[in-house]
Chain A
Amino acid sequence: MTRQLLTGNAAAAWAARLARVDYVPAFPITPQTEIIETLGRWIDAGELAARLVTLESEHSMVTAAGAAAATGVRVFSATSSQGLLYAMEMLYAVAGWRAPFVLVNVSRGIAAPITLEPDHDDVLAARDSGFLQIHCSTCQEILDSILLAHRLAEDSRVRLPVIVNFDGFTLSFTREPVEIPDGDAVDRFLGPYDPENVRFLASKPISQAVAVMGGGPYSYFRYQMHLAAEAALGVYDEVAAGFAAAFGRRWEAVETWHCDDAEIVFVMIGSFATKARDAVERLRAVGERVGLVRPRLLRPLPVAALRAAVAGKRGVAVIDQNLSLGRGGVLHAELASALYGQPDAPPVLASFVGGLGGRDIGLEEFRRMAAETRAAADAGRAPPPRLLYTSGELRELRKLQGIAHAERAELRRAAPASSDPEAS
Chain B
Amino acid sequence: MSETHYRRMQDLPSTHLLGSGTAMCAGCGGLQAIQVIYDVLGPKTVFVNAAGCMTLLSVYPFTPFQGSWLYTSMASAPAGAQGVRDALDLLVAKGRIPPEEDLDVVVLTGDGAACGMGLASTSGAIDRGLDFLYVCYDNEGYANTGQQTSPATPHAARTATDALAGGFAGEKKDLFSIWAANRPVYVATAVGAEPVDLARKIEKARGLSGPRLVIVLAPCPTGWGFDPAESIEIGRLAVATGVFPLKEWEAGRVVHTKVRRPRLPVERYLERQARFRHLFEPVRDEAALAAIQARVDAYWESVE
A and B touch in the complex (CB under 8 A): yes
Tell me if A200 is interfacial: C-beta within 8 Å of chain B.
Answer: yes
Report if A207-B65 is in contact (Cβ < 8 Å); known contacts: A51-B90, A59-B76, A60-B79. yes
How far is B71's CA from A67's CA once the two chains are assembled, in angstroms? 10
Complex interface bits, B66-79 against A, C-beta within 8 A gives 1, otherwise 0: 11111111011011
A22-B90, A210-B59, A217-B60 given as contacts; is B73 within 8 A of A53 (CB)? no
Q: Is the beta-carbon distance between B82 and A67 smaller than 8 angstroms? A: yes
- Specify which chain A residues have a CB less than 8 angstroms from the CB of B88 in the assembled complex: 71, 200
The residue that A64 contacts in the complex, of B65, B69, B83, B89, with Cβ under 8 A, is: B83
Contact A211 to B59, CB < 8 A, known contacts A72-B91, A205-B67: yes
Any chain B CB within 8 A of the CB of A280? no
Measured between C-beta atoms, what is the minimum distance from B81 to chain A in Å? 7
Q: Is A65 an interface residue (CB 8 A)?
A: yes
Closest-by-CB residue of A relative to B79 is: A60
Interface range on chain B: under 10, 10 to 19, 20 to 34, or 35 or more?
Answer: 35 or more
Q: Which residues of the partner chain A approach B94 to less than 8 Å between Cβ atoms?
A: 22, 49
Residues A63 and B87 in contact in the complex (CB < 8 Å), given A56-B120, A200-B103, A211-B60: no
CA distance A72 to B65 in the complex (A): 20
Q: How far is the CA of A71 from the CA of B89 in the complex (A)?
A: 10
Known: A72-B91, A200-B103. A25 touches B83 (CB 8 A): yes
A186 to B280, CA, bound (A): 74
Task: Let me know if B102 is at the binding interface, CB within 8 A.
Answer: yes
A206 at the interface (CB under 8 A from B): yes
B27 within 8 A of A: no
- The residue that B79 contacts in the complex, of A63, A72, A202, with Cβ under 8 A, is A63
- Pick the contact of A201 from B59, B83, B101, B127 — CB < 8 Å? B101
A273, chain B: closest CB distance, angstroms = 35
Cβ of A203 within 8 Å of any chain B Cβ, yes or no, is yes
> In the complex, how many angstroms separate the beta carbon of B119 from the nearest chain A beta carbon?
10
Interface hits, B82-110 → A, CB 8 Å:
82-84, 86-91, 94, 96-97, 100-103
**Which of B80, B120, B121 has the most chain A CB atoms closer than 10 A to its own CB?**
B80
Residue on B nearest A221 in the bound complex, by CB = B60
Query: Is A209 positioned at the interface, with any CB of B under 8 Å from its CB?
Result: yes
* Residues A202-227 near B (CB distance < 8 A): 202-203, 205-213, 217
Kindly state whether residue B63 has any CB partner on chain A within 8 Å.
Answer: yes
Chain A contributes a number of interface residues (CB within 8 A of B) equal to 42
- Contact in complex: A68, B72 (CB < 8 Å): no
| Residue B256 is within 8 A (CB to CB) of chain A in the complex | no
Q: Kindly state whether residue B44 has any CB partner on chain A within 8 Å.
A: yes
Task: From the candidates B58, B69, B81, name the one contacting A67 in the complex (CB within 8 A).
Answer: B81
Query: CA separation between A68 and B81, bound complex, in Å?
Result: 9
Nearest A residue (CB) for B121: A60
Residues A44-70 near B (CB distance < 8 A):
49-51, 53-57, 59-61, 63-70
Nearest chain B CB to A71 CB, angstrom units: 4
| Whole-angstrom CA separation of A10 from B79 in the bound complex | 27
Which residues in B have their C-beta under 8 angstroms from that of A208?
Answer: 68-71
Q: What total count of A-B pairs have CB within 8 Å?
A: 151
B175 within 8 A of A: no
Interface pair B76/A71, CB less than 8 Å apart: no
Bound: A200/B44 CA distance, A: 10
Instruction: Point out the residue from B75, B83, B102 that lies within 8 Å of A68, measured CB to CB.
Output: B83
The DSSP consensus for interface residues of chain A is: mixed
User: Is A73 on the interface with B (CB-CB < 8 A)?
Assistant: yes
The distance from the CB of B97 to the nearest CB of chain A, in whole angstroms, is 7
Q: Could you tell me the distance between the alpha carbons of A60 and B123 in the complex, rounded to whole angstroms? A: 12
Would you give the shortest CB distance from A123 to chain B, in whole angstroms? 21
Given contacts A56-B121, A68-B84, A200-B88, contact A61 B65 (CB under 8 A): no
Q: Are A51 and B72 also in contact (CB < 8 A) when A56-B121, A56-B127, A205-B67 are?
A: no
The complex places the Cα of A219 from the Cα of B78 at a distance, in Å, of 29
Beyond A89-B73, A207-B69, A210-B71, whether A73 also contacts B79 by CB under 8 A is no
A73 and B91 contact, Cβ closer than 8 Å, known pairs A61-B79, A201-B97, A211-B56:
yes
Q: Given A56-B123, A211-B59, are A63 and B76 neighbors across the interface (CB < 8 Å)?
A: yes
Task: Please tell me if B152 contacts chain A, counting CB pairs below 8 Å.
Answer: no
Find the B residue at minimum CB distance from A214. B60
- Cα–Cα distance between A106 and B198 once the two chains are bound (Å): 48
Report if A160 contacts B (CB, 8 A): no
- Closest CB-CB distance, A192 to chain B, in whole Å? 8
Contact status B59-A202, CB under 8 Å = no
Q: Is the pair A207, B68 in contact by a Cβ cutoff of 8 Å?
A: yes
Q: Which of B72, B89, B121 contacts A209 (CB 8 A)?
A: B72
A–B pairs, 28, beta carbons within 8 Å: A22-B90, A22-B94, A51-B90, A53-B82, A53-B86, A55-B79, A56-B127, A57-B121, A60-B78, A64-B79, A64-B80, A64-B86, A65-B83, A67-B79, A67-B81, A67-B82, A68-B86, A69-B83, A70-B83, A71-B84, A72-B96, A90-B73, A90-B76, A200-B103, A201-B97, A208-B71, A210-B59, A211-B60
A interface list, Cβ under 8 A from B: 22-23, 25, 49-51, 53-57, 59-61, 63-73, 89-90, 93, 200-203, 205-213, 217
10 closest pairs, A vs B, by CB? Answer: A67-B83, A56-B124, A60-B79, A71-B87, A64-B83, A68-B83, A68-B87, A63-B76, A207-B63, A207-B69
Given contacts A63-B73, A202-B100, A207-B65, 4 further A-B contacts (CB under 8 A): A22-B87, A63-B79, A90-B76, A213-B60
